[in-house]
């Protein structure tokens, strides 16, 4: 990575000193060992170096730091919880960049239960926002396995998905207003609490999913929802993968659109979970190949209709041959136990050796077709490969992962990553899908962006980047 007109050494040292004085000792880390966790990504796929880690405590401090960076063309990498899966939050190896870590900006600024909104600083941990909303008897529906560590600024910057998308949308759908420090150090105050505002370009969405390349999100106004009062969670065995699409469609219609999650799970995922996750076991007596984890919720207290509708749905679906069997949670503890099966899949893949992952989407109605075709292509390309497919089928988003054939060396398997990626992503493109449904681009998928997006789309993205960040100091080398 190169940055135009990099500052000379003495000038740069003076600029870093100014930044240090802006954030004070509490906001400054330059010891190599202390910086380690900020320059390494979760899975250690990317390890970089940084000139320093800067931890500002307010929007004003962020703005001042960025202004100095702009003046001296010091590149910076915004960082939230550093749980991103595409290497967007870690610096490159040059050591020229500073990491701007948002963890100290973790205040809930205000909550307005009647407007169903909450205003938070970008460094708030997602789980803390969920709790703050719950304390006000409201739901903040964004939910993912990293929620105890990831921050809302990171969630918005990656337009995170998770398990609630089917009902509530992606992170970008949950935001009404943003406060952003632009690459020149100015603050864009767009902290709107309005649900209707048709006054020109909607700049919010520029920064959602931009992965820190257009500015630093410092605060956000988020949408809240009524708290769910009752739910039905079931692990449902299907006769084949095709059945999941009509089942979802019927479930939505028959329950007053109460389906809040609909997750496909192939049997191999459960085998891995039972083998490697203590405290899990098969809730069904017979072994099946295809499952969905379905959750219905209602916000109406004391509503018995949900349970009745659910039972009728299951009866009808069994009659129609869409469902073979189901384990239905009778209480919250059992529901959590079923969710644990789904949530333990990524972790339980690890002891099975090297994996190659695809986070793709196609139209919901084409998910079974995609999984079947992609599985055949993988088995042909590498006999014995273990296809570990699961995911948010209600959003058309499949985590189409591969584990190495039993007995194969990790290195030999990983060496074929690009070849296998290309086969899967070509198929996805043919089906009009996306090669990155929820984890973004970062550093990992930049080549794919150029390969699979239309040249016009890539050109528009580059022009927006150049317009806002002409000196390319804001997370350079990521996304575009
Ligand atoms: P980081 O990893 O710190 O940063 C991600 C990107 O956003 C980087 O490019 C960074 O520069 C930028 N960024 C961070 N904060 C800011 C800011 N304030 N302003 C501007 N740019 C910023 N993702 C999903 O979508 N769905 C899932 O279900 C899901 N499950 C996961 C499960 C696990 C166990 C793990 C480890 C990850 C999972 N992820 C998932 C990926 C990851 O958690 C999300 O991408 C999350 O939104 C990242 O948030 P973060 O705060 O960790 O951001
Ligand atoms: Zn996911």
Mean local confidence (pLDDT), 140-154 = 95
Residue 177 is part of which domain span? 108-226
Averaged confidence pLDDT in the chain = 95
The pLDDT assigned to 1 comes to 46
What is the domain-level CATH number for residue 426?
3.30.70.2740
Same domain, 250 and 330: yes
Q: Is residue 59 part of a domain?
A: no
Task: Give the mutation target among 79, 97, 205 for probing the ligand 1 site: most ligand atoms within 8 A of CB.
Answer: 79
Q: Is residue 23 part of a domain?
A: no
Mean local confidence (pLDDT), 322-334 = 96
Same domain, 252 and 297: yes
Same domain, 219 and 260: no
Same domain, 178 and 256: no
Q: Is residue 32 part of a domain?
A: no
User: From ligand 1's centre to the CA of 33, what distance in Å?
Assistant: 23
Nearest Cα to Cα of residue 477 among 207, 33, 194, 77? 77
Q: What is the pLDDT of residues 235-288, one digit of tens each?
A: 999 999 999 999 999 999 999 999 999 999 999 999 999 999 999 999 999 999
The pLDDT assigned to 45 comes to 78
The pLDDT assigned to 7 comes to 62
Q: Is residue 233 part of a domain?
A: no
Same domain, 362 and 429: yes
User: From ligand 2's centre to the CA of 225, what distance in Å?
Assistant: 22
Of 307, 342, 377, the one marking the end of a domain is 342
Same domain, 318 and 371: no
Q: Cβ(442) to ligand 1 under 6 A? A: yes
Q: What is the pLDDT of residues 36-73, one digit of tens each?
A: 999 998 776 789 999 999 999 999 999 999 999 999 99
Same domain, 313 and 380: no
Of 342, 376, 411, the one marking the end of a domain is 342
Q: Is residue 9 part of a domain?
A: no
**What pTM was estimated for this model as a whole?**
0.94
Same domain, 148 and 222: yes
Of 226, 250, 266, the one marking the end of a domain is 226
Q: Is residue 301 part of a domain?
A: yes
Structurally, how many domains does the chain consist of?
3
Same domain, 210 and 261: no
Q: Is residue 216 part of a domain?
A: yes
Q: Is residue 29 part of a domain?
A: no
CA distance 260 to 171: 15
Same domain, 208 and 113: yes
Same domain, 193 and 301: no
Same domain, 218 and 112: yes
**Phi, psi dihedrals of residue 18, rounded to the nearest 5°:** -65, -40
Q: Is the separation of the CB atoms in 157 and 218 below 8 Å?
A: no
User: From ligand 1's centre to the CA of 257, what distance in Å?
Assistant: 29
The pLDDT assigned to 301 comes to 84
What is the domain-level CATH number for residue 278?
3.30.70.2190
Q: Is the separation of the CB atoms in 305 and 260 below 8 Å?
A: no
CA distance 35 to 50: 8
CA distance 85 to 76: 19
């Amino acid at each position: 990575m190169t940055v135009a007109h990099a500052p000379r050494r003495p000038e740069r040292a003076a600029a870093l000193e100014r930044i240090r004085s802006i954030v004070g000792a509490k906001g400054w880390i330059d010891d190599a060992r202390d910086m380690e966790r900020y320059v390494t990504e979760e899975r250690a796929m990317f390890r970089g170096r940084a000139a320093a880690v800067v931890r500002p405590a307010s929007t004003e401090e962020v703005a001042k730091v960025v202004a100095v960076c702009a003046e001296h063309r010091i590149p910076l990498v915004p960082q939230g919880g550093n749980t991103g899966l595409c290497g967007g939050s870690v610096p490159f190896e040059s050591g020229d960049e500073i990491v701007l870590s948002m963890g100290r900006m973790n205040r809930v600024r205000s909550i307005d239960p009647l407007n169903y909104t909450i205003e938070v600083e970008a460094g708030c941990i997602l789980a803390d926002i969920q709790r703050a909303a719950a304390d006000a008897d409201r739901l903040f529906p964004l939910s993912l396995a990293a929620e105890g560590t990831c921050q809302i600024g990171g969630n918005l910057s990656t337009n995170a998905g998770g398990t609630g998308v089917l009902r509530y949308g992606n992170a970008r759908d949950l935001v009404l207003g943003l406060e952003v420090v632009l690459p020149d150090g100015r603050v864009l105050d767009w902290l709107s609490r309005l649900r209707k505002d048709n006054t020109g370009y909607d700049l919010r969405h520029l920064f959602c999913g931009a992965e820190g390349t257009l500015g630093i999100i410092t605060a956000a106004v988020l949408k809240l929802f009524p708290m769910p009062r009752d739910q039905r969670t079931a692990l449902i065995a299907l006769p084949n993968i095709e059945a999941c699409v009509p089942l979802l469609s019927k479930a939505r219609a028959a329950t007053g659109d109460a389906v809040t999650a609909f997750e496909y799970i192939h049997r191999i995922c459960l085998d891995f979970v039972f083998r490697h996750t203590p405290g899990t076991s098969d809730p069904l007596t017979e072994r099946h190949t295809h499952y969905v984890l379905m959750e219905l919720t209602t916000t109406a207290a004391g509503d018995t209709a949900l349970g009745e509708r659910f039972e009728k749905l299951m009866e009808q679906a069994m009659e129609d041959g869409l469902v073979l069997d189901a384990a239905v949670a009778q209480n919250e503890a059992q529901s959590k136990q079923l969710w644990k099966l789904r949530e333990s899949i990524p972790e339980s893949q690890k002891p099975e050796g090297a994996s190659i992952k695809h986070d793709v989407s196609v139209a919901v109605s084409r998910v079974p077709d995609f999984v079947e075709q992609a599985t055949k292509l993988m088995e042909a390309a590498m006999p014995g490969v273990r296809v570990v497919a699961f995911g948010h089928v209600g959003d058309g988003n499949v985590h189409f992962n591969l584990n190495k054939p039993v007995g194969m060396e990790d290195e030999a398997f990983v060496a074929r990553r690009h070849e296998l990626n290309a086969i899967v992503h070509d198929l996805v493109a043919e089906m009009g899908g996306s090669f990155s449904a929820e984890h973004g681009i970062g550093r990992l998928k930049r080549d794919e962006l150029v390969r699979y997006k239309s040249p016009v789309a890539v050109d528009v993205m580059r022009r927006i980047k150049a317009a806002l960040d002409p000196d390319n100091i804001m997370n350079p080398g990521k996304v575009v």
